[in-house]
Structures are given as structure tokens and as C-alpha cells.
Amino acid sequence: MVLLKIAEKEDLPLFTKVYNQAIHMRNVTADIEEVTEAQMASIFSQHDTSRPLYTILNDQEQAIGYASLNHFYGRPAYDETAELSIYLDEQTRGQGYGTKVMQLLEQEAASLNIHYLTGYVFAQNIPCNKLFEKQGYSLWGNLPQIAHIDEKRLDLNIWGKQI
């Protein structure tokens, strides 16, 4: 079982840890240097009741990561669209949490009058691309070699789904 709870400031150390783990993978986030808690704090200001930030809890109600519904492109015509993000502690990856969290995010989005979800995933991040495909998302676009990390060029896939 997985639960989502609205994130609180005391979750910030976990968010920072998990995000920095993702940075080290070199194919998850476009950041290339670790972030501080102060830098991660800005994530809270980007979320509100219409685009929540959640702490992911496992069945023992331990925090194992975070997820969010993000404003898409910042223009009113896109109010029914959100970009979703999921970041899990490295110790929990590959255990089905991503699938469950994505399903919960879709339910949350529907309750917020969001009808379209998008996700941005580096093409080289095979597990995450498989997750989107498995959950019925379609590949809406590909931006070839748009990112440059450690002497490598990465392609960005844009996944989408009407919910």
C-alpha cells in the first residue's frame, strides 16, 4: 500500500536527499550538481492546492519520496493540464511504488479538474519510460539531444495521457 500526504516543510530533508540521489543517476533530472535544502525549499512555493506536492508513504507510513502535480507552461489555457513528477528513495525503486504513485496521482488530478497529464523523461531512463508506457501514456514527443550531462547528449521524451 502507498499513501500520498500533502508535503510539509519537515519533509524537506528527505526531498533533498531523494532528489540528490536522482541527480547522481545522471539520466533522471537535468540538474548536474547536488542541491541544498535551501534550494529545494523553492519547490514548496511552486505548489498550491491546485497543484499539490505530496510526500509518498509506504505501508508502514514511512516517507520514501515525493510526488507532485506541476503547473504546465504557466498559461491559463493549460489549466486542465499538469506535469507529474515522482522521486523515490533509491532503496525503494523497482518495488512497484512508482506504479502505485502514478495511479494515485491520476486520481488526485481528476479530483482537481485536471484532464491531461504529461511527463518529461530522458529517453535513456528506461525504467521510467516503461512506467509511463505501462500506465497507458502515449509518447507525445521527443526532443533529441536537448540535454548535455557529463559529455553525453540526452534525448527528452514527452509522455501524455488524457484522464
pLDDT tens-digit map of 22-54:
999 999 999 999 999 999 998 888 899 999 999
Q: 120: pLDDT confidence band, cut at 50, 70 and 90?
A: very high
Pairing of strands 53-57, 3-6: antiparallel
Q: 126: pLDDT confidence band, cut at 50, 70 and 90?
A: very high
C-alpha–C-alpha distance, residues 46 and 52, integer Å = 9
Q: Which of 48, 49, 54 is nearest to 68 (CA)?
A: 54
Amino acid at 110: A
CATH 3.40.50.1970 assigned to domain 3-116? The reply is no
| b/e code 20-47 from CB counts within 10 Å (16+ = b) | bbbbeeebbbeeeeebeeeebeebeeeb
Q: Which of 69, 62, 73 is nearest to 86 (CA)?
A: 69
C-alpha–C-alpha distance, residues 143 and 122, integer Å = 9
In this predicted structure, what is the pLDDT of residue 18? 98
In this predicted structure, what is the pLDDT of residue 153? 98
Question: Domain boundaries in the chain?
Answer: 3-116
Cell (9 digits) for 103: 495511479
CB 16 within 8 A of CB 40: yes
Q: 93: pLDDT confidence band, cut at 50, 70 and 90?
A: very high
